[in-house]
């Protein structure tokens, strides 16, 4: 079983994939209403604890946090907070599952999954469409305006991280043989 995480201080997405690539569980933890950093971490830990009782995790893959500025995007403070939260959740995973989490850049994960983002399109939209088209068992709730409800984009991102993690695990096993 592979656990894929898309960690954020607003909404953290998670996906559990079987070794055959089937979705066993997919969800998100909505942290937007919680303002305290440590309470946010406690909420994520609570869900991770539930996952530990659910099944045997063999590998954990986490989307690597951003390391550089992009025009009009995240400030230094935001990047620092995200890196700190990513580290805290990675430690929780190590502590709870006794596994060292592996970090994957979003671009690398998309490439491993065969997702190409055409010029002019947003990566989030392309990923979401890919997951809807190719991931059996990925259900979405929509707003009355036809947009995915908050958290479903994070679920899709966590699916891509888990799927890329599964591909990495298969490559490792193949290299050993």
**CA–CA dist 127, 137 (Å, integer):** 16
Q: Give me the domain span that covers residue 89.
A: 2-176
Residue 151 has pLDDT above 60, yes or no: yes
Span of 30-39, 66-75, 122-131, 151-160 with lowest mean pLDDT:
66-75
Span of 71-75, 86-90, 127-131, 141-145 with lowest mean pLDDT:
71-75
Four-residue CA torsion sign, 157, 159, 160, 165: positive
Q: Which tens digit of pLDDT belongs to each residue from 18-73?
A: 999 999 999 999 999 999 999 999 999 999 999 887 678 999 999 997 644 454 55
Mean pLDDT, to the nearest integer, of 103-121? 95
CA distances to 12, 32, 91, 121, 139 from 40, rounded to whole Å, are 10, 9, 15, 32, 25
Read off the CATH number of the domain in which 81 is found.
3.30.420.10
- For 42, other C-beta atoms within 10 Å of its C-beta total 12
Residue 134 has pLDDT above 70, yes or no: yes
Q: What is the pLDDT of residue 45?
A: 96
Mean pLDDT, to the nearest integer, of 133-154? 93
- Nearest in space to 62 (alpha carbons), one of 104, 108, 109: 104
- For 53, other C-beta atoms within 10 Å of its C-beta total 6
**134 φ, ψ (degrees, to nearest 5):** -115, -10
Share above pLDDT 90 across residues of the chain, in percent, rounded to a whole number: 81
**CA–CA dist 89, 54 (Å, integer):** 18
Residue 23 pairs with which residues in a beta bridge? 17
Counted domains in the chain: 1
Q: What is the pLDDT of residue 176?
A: 79
Mean pLDDT, to the nearest integer, of 168-176? 89
Secondary structure (3-state) at 16:
strand
Q: Whole-model pTM? A: 0.91
């Amino acid at each position: 079983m592979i656990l894929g995480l898309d960690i954020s201080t607003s909404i953290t997405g998670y996906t559990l994939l079987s070794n055959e690539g089937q979705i066993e569980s997919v969800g998100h933890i909505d942290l937007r209403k919680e303002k305290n950093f440590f309470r946010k971490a406690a909420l994520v830990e609570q869900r991770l604890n539930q996952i530990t009782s659910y099944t045997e995790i063999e590998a954990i893959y986490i989307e690597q946090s951003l390391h550089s500025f992009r025009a009009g995007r995240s400030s230094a403070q935001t990047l620092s907070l995200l890196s700190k939260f990513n580290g805290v959740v990675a430690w929780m995973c190590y502590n709870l599952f006794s596994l060292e989490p592996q970090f994957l850049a979003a671009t690398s994960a998309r490439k491993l999954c065969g997702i190409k983002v055409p010029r002019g399109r947003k990566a989030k939209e392309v990923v979401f469409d890919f997951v809807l088209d190719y991931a059996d068992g990925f259900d979405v709730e929509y707003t009355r305006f036809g947009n995915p409800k908050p958290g479903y984009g994070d679920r899709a991102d966590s699916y891509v991280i888990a799927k890329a993690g599964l591909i990495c695990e298969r490559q490792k096993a193949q290299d050993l043989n």
